[in-house]
Amino acid sequence: MPIDINDFYREAGTRISSSLDLDEALSRLFEYLSTIFPLDAINLTYREPDGNLYSVSEAGKMQADIERDAHQPMLIIDPRMMEQFVEYFRAQNMVVDDVLIFNQPVPSMINNLIMQQYPTITQIPSSLILFLNIGDDEVGLFSLVKYGNNIFNREQASLLQQIKHPVAIAMSNARRYRQLKRLKENLVEDNRALQEELVDISGGRVIGGDKGLRNIMEMVQQAAPLNSPVLLLGETGTGKEVIANALHQLSPRRNKPIVRVHCGAIPDTLLDSELFGHEKGSFTGAVSSKRGRFERADGGTIFLDEIGELTQEAQVRLLRVLQEHEIERLGGDRTIKIDVRVIAATHRNLPKMIEEGRFREDLWYRLNVFPIEIPPLRERRQDIPDLTAYFINKKAAEMGLSKVPALAPGSLERLVKYDWPGNVRELQNVVERALITRRNGSISFDELSRGSRTSTSLAAVQENGTFKPLNSALSEHIKQALDACNGRIEGEKGAAALLQMNPSTLRAKIRKLKIT
């Protein structure tokens, strides 16, 4: 009985587009095509630009069960070899438009290629292979499969050609859907892992919380259940981010995200976009809409580190967020309601900046609802032994050491007596350097007894009198500049200005030297 082309196109197109779950849609399509073609199975594969074919979906029953992973290529074929195959079949009059008639038997070299990929295959079926493309881009293959010799003919190939477009669109859409779903799953998993890590680092235990930071942790316990803004004050490196993490983890928002913003590390021209998002076309390069940090933190906490670095314009918009609990994306006219707990931090003297006209007084009053001033490490020396033990264990694990090195006699006393101008961050750097340069299985801090600030001096010459490799010395020098500028690269107070370098050049060196 002749097949009505319009009915065939409509029915096949409806079935393949019936669900974003391609396995389900392909199963429905298989039921229909089985009434028209001799079939054991149908399958879809996606072609990457490198020529590799990736499994997408399959319906029916293949003779051999093949374990396929959508993230791994199911068949690796050199694109030039594929062209040779197509030319061979075309010469045999076995190509109709975009459909290749792959009837067994075929030359043994073709079968051998497939069987090399899947040694468990004992028999290779005949197939109709439809090459799918959207515009000029080839997106993959759609195959009808039947075991046996000389199964398919040119009339069937011509009929299959009719549904090329809906199958290509359905596969492309379904693949994008799968990618988005996988990205969402990865984000959920990453967020879960991050939250667990933060609990381990801060929420579960703050080093010194029962000693030098006891009063601070009592204030954290008071503020954590509330939605009021918290302002963390203190010198650079005292652990303000750790306290911010603790505030979040002890709050009812602990299952929502905590989004960190280093206000001094974002170029002024991008600050509004980063904080509040932007709409497509709002400026050159805005090829799509983007959520800002406040939107990403909705329901959770936003930690604004170095709040004193905000521009006047950004201060005005932040004040509105605190007052109205709403934002507008850059270039947009739509008001977006948000529910965010704000924790700000700075090492600067904000009242003095207000007098100088560099910080808004009304924003200061909004942020200064519950200030917490974190003491420098030199004022809580009782925490140094615990912090040292924590950093030794942490860095030893990161470096893959099989055994945690012991402290050399007298080394702990040196740490306690040192004034730590760089605070906890400097202690962490000193511990890491001591682990790298350790001798005889133990670590010491002899440099501190000589009065040198090991974490802030450029030790280009090693103790044996030889020079360090240039990249190693350069890496240390850049790290010192970044520490001195609190991670900021651009601007008059950035590391690039300090090093008298172009910011782009500095970023390139940071990437090359793998500085984090």
> Over its length of 516 residues, how does the chain's per-residue pLDDT go in tens digits?
578 889 999 999 899 888 877 788 889 999 999 999 999 999 888 776 555 666 777 888 765 544 444 444 444 555 566 677 777 777 877 888 889 888 888 777 777 776 776 666 677 888 898 988 877 677 788 999 999 898 999 999 999 999 998 988 887 777 777 677 767 766 665 565 555 554 444 444 688 878 889 899 999 999 999 999 999 999 988 989 999 999 999 999 988 889 999 887 888 778 888 888 888 888 877 777 888 899 989 999 999 999 998 888 889 888 988 999 998 888 888 888 999 999 999 999 999 999 999 999 999 999 999 999 999 999 999 999 999 998 998 888 888 887 888 888 888 888 988 889 889 988 988 888 888 877 667 888 877 755 444 434 434 444 444 556 777 778 888 888 888 777 888 877 788 877 777 777 788 788 888 887
400: CB partners within 8 A, 6+ apart: none
Please name every residue paired with 1 in a beta bridge, in sequence order, or none if there are none: none
- Map tokens 């040779």 to a residue: 84
pTM of the model: 0.54
Whole-angstrom Cα distance, residue 447 to residue 452?
6
Q: Provide DSSP, 461-490.
A: B-TTSPBPPHHHHHHHHHHHHHHHTTT--S
- Residue 138 and residue 132 in contact, taking contact as beta carbons nearer than 8 Å: yes
418: CB partners within 8 A, 6+ apart: 445, 448
- Residue 159 and residue 8 in contact, taking contact as beta carbons nearer than 8 Å: yes
DSSP H or E run through 164: helix 164-198
Report the relative pairing of strands 258-262 and 301-305 from DSSP bridges: parallel
